[in-house]
Amino acid sequence: MNTKLTLSLNKAIIEQAKAYAKEQNVSLSSIIENYLLKVVSSGKPSTKHKGSIVEALSGIIQLGTKQDEDNFKAYLEEKHS
């Protein structure tokens, strides 16, 4: 049984994730569901890679342009300042 879930994420990340999903011919929901399934099925994040599963997945979705990257950096600086 599927249930809706509302997430609040950075707009640039959402757009890049949607583009990635389209290129892979899968839904964004499917990508997120598979990620969450991997996290919860082992009871802890994967340790196959050095560091956390987040570190292992970092860089999978590339920012499209220099402007996107600059916008994301500005967002992070504002968020963490």
pLDDT one-digit tens code per residue, 17-61: 999 888 888 899 988 888 888 888 875 544 454 566 666 676 666
Q: 4 lies in a domain?
A: no
**Amino acid sitting at position 71:** N
The predicted pLDDT at position 44 comes to: 56
Residue 1 counted as domain residue: no
Q: How far apart are CA 61 and CA 30, in angstroms?
A: 15
Give start and end residues of each alpha helix (H) in the chain: 11-24, 28-41, 53-57, 66-79
pTM for this predicted structure = 0.49
Residue numbers of the domain that contains 30: 11-79
Domain count for the chain, please give it. 1
Residue 54 domain-assigned?
Answer: yes
- Whole-number pLDDT of residue 46: 47
